[in-house]
Amino acid sequence: AEIALTELHAGGKFNQNSYKVSGGLHGVGVSCVNALSKMLRLTIRRDGKVHAMEFSRGFVQNRLVEEVNGVPVSPMKVIG
């Protein structure tokens, strides 16, 4: 999710039929809106959990970095 919100042209790639119902995922659009926004909150509901990530001017805010098996990871905050 973070890549789609911070990198140009990183949005979903769909065939003609699925793009119509994808909710208008535009790789350039959402990353540009994020870069210009004072605050943007991303909420993802998946597998019965609610995850959230906040951005300001295109950068993740309050990132928590953990180390798992020697690899730094930054999981999305679970808020529900």
Find the radius of gyration of the CA atoms of the chain.
Answer: 14
For residue 17, give the H/E element and its range: helix 16-20
- The per-residue pLDDT for 13 is 58
Output the DSSP codes for 18-58. Answer: HHHTTT---HHHHHHHHHH-S-EEEEEEETTEEEEEEEETT
How much is the pTM? Answer: 0.68
Q: Where are the domains of the chain?
A: 2-78
Cα→Cα distances 4→34, 48, 49, 70, 71, Å = 10, 23, 21, 26, 22
Q: Side chain identity at 14, as an amino acid letter?
A: F
How do residues 38-49 score in pLDDT, each as one tens digit? Answer: 999 989 898 999
